[in-house]
DNA sequence: AACCTTGACAACCGCGTATGA
DNA sequence: TTCATACGCGGTTGTCAAGGT
């Protein structure tokens, strides 16, 4: 028996989202919270697949998203994490507050990959290219066994397992993490060694650790801890007063303030769009 | 000015996995 | 334990703007 399609193909709109659709989706999630994506399109009055709604929300409309290009520090962190985790973009994104897996993946493919190649580093294995070329086929074979297969080695598995019991941010400060780091950075196979160490005390403190602005008197939702932002549950806050907390951490920087001003949504959406374009320019 | 190419990003697709009946 | 369903992830494709010819 085949898998059911995630939505009825007939009458489902595809392609770029319009401001009107964005408005509907935002309004719906502000009112009802994130739940049961399959039901969202119908309830929100959208002719879209639930999957598409989820993607639009998580990659574009979510209030805690940063806008614009990755900073140099973020980029370096992505490189370091990719060396450890491989193409597990969601795990990498979980370490970069306000960034999505899609965004990081795109940035990797369009910018970082090329940069690494220019530097003479294989973007897949993070091994200097000249070293790979000079080695014998047997060496290469051994190397592949030692290198994480797309970032998958034993240590990484252990990290993955740990992630079930505690958040990655918690893991990051453990001794295990240090051991993992040591084992990964043990030889010249990773030029990232120095790069990582350079950032260990800065980036890691700033990004891996939970730097959540604690909000008194609100529930917190651990689902969002990975984002580095402890955002109260949508469901638990019918009045969404917690949204105001974003003002303290710069929500206006990415235009979400428009969404709950309730003044002119269509204008707001256009403004968000143009702001985004501006920030990318 | 028109067409072509390239780069960047948004969105889609299909598969694996988690979850609940 | 099995099966159906929904969700999440990663790879791929589509779209559009900018630059080049």
In a domain, A110, yes or no: yes
The Cα diameter of chain A in Å comes to: 67
Considering its fold, how many domains does chain A have in total? 1
Does at least one atom of strand C sit less than 7 Å from the CB of A179?
Answer: no
Does at least one atom of strand B sit less than 7 Å from the CB of A118?
Answer: no
In a domain, A187, yes or no: yes
Q: In the structure, how far is the CA atom of residue A72 from the C1' atom of nucleotide C9, in angstroms?
A: 26
Residue A203: strand, helix, or coil: helix
What pLDDT does A244 receive? 34
> Which distant-in-sequence residues (6+ apart) come within 8 Å of A128 by Cβ?
A120, A121, A122, A188, A191
**Residue A19 contacts residue A270 (beta carbons within 8 Å):** yes
Kindly report, residue by residue over A77-126, the tens digit of the pLDDT.
888 888 888 888 888 888 888 888 888 888 888 888 888 887 888 888 88
Q: Is A231 exposed, middle or buried (0-12, 13-18, 19+ CB in 10 A)?
A: buried
Kindly report, residue by residue over A192-216, the tens digit of the pLDDT.
443 343 343 334 444 333 333 333 3
Does at least one atom of strand B sit less than 7 Å from the CB of A193?
Answer: no
In a domain, A21, yes or no: no
DSSP alpha helices (H): ranges in chain A? 19-32, 40-44, 50-56, 72-85, 89-94, 101-107, 113-118, 129-134, 137-146, 154-165, 168-171, 175-184, 192-200, 203, 245-248, 265-280
**Residue A220 contacts residue A195 (beta carbons within 8 Å):** no
In a domain, A50, yes or no: no
What pLDDT does A117 receive? 80
Residue ranges of chain A with pLDDT lower than 70? 1-11, 131-281
Q: In the structure, how far is the CA atom of residue A240 from the C1' atom of nucleotide B21, in angstroms?
A: 33
What pLDDT does A132 receive? 55
Q: In the structure, how far is the CA atom of residue A33 from the C1' atom of nucleotide C13, in angstroms?
A: 31
What pLDDT does A10 receive? 55
In a domain, A250, yes or no: no
A135: region left, alpha or beta (phi > 0 left; psi from -120 to 50 alpha): beta
Q: Within 13 Å, how many C-alpha atoms sit on residue A39's CB side? A: 8
Give the range of the structural domain holding residue A82, as residue numbers without chain letter.
72-208
What pLDDT does A104 receive? 87
What pLDDT does A271 receive? 40
In a domain, A242, yes or no: no
Chain B: nucleotides below 7 Å from protein CB are: 7-16
In a domain, A259, yes or no: no
> Which distant-in-sequence residues (6+ apart) come within 8 Å of A20 by Cβ?
A266, A269
In a domain, A243, yes or no: no
Q: Within 13 Å, how many C-alpha atoms sit on residue A244's CB side? A: 7
């Amino acid at each position: 028996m085949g898998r059911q399609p995630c939505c009825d193909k007939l009458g489902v709109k595809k392609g770029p989202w319009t401001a009107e659709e964005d408005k509907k989706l935002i309004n719906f999630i502000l009112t009802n919270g994130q739940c049961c994506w399959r039901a969202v399109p119908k309830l929100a009055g959208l002719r879209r697949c639930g999957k598409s709604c989820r993607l639009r929300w998580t990659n574009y409309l979510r209030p805690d998203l940063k806008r614009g290009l990755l900073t140099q520090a973020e980029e370096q962190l992505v490189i370091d994490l990719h060396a450890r985790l491989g193409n597990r973009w969601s795990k990498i994104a979980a370490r970069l507050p306000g960034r999505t897996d899609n965004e990081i993946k795109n940035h990797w493919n369009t910018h970082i990959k090329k940069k690494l190649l220019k530097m003479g580093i294989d973007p897949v294995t993070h091994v200097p290219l000249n070293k790979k070329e000079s080695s014998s086929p047997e060496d290469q074979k051994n190397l592949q066994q030692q290198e994480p297969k797309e970032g998958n080695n034993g240590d990484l598995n252990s990290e993955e397992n740990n992630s079930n019991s505690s958040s990655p941010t918690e893991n990051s400060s453990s001794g295990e993490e240090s051991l993992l780091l040591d084992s990964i950075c043990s030889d010249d196979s990773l030029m990232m060694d120095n790069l990582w160490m350079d950032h260990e005390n800065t980036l890691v403190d700033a990004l891996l650790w939970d730097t959540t602005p604690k909000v008194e008197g609100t529930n917190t939702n651990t689902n969002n801890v990975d984002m580095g932002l402890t955002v109260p549950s949508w469901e638990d806050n019918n009045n969404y007063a917690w949204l105001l907390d974003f003002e303290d951490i710069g929500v206006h920087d990415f235009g979400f303030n428009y969404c709950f001003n309730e003044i002119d949504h269509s204008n707001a959406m256009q403004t968000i769009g143009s702001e985004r374009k501006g920030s990318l320019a």
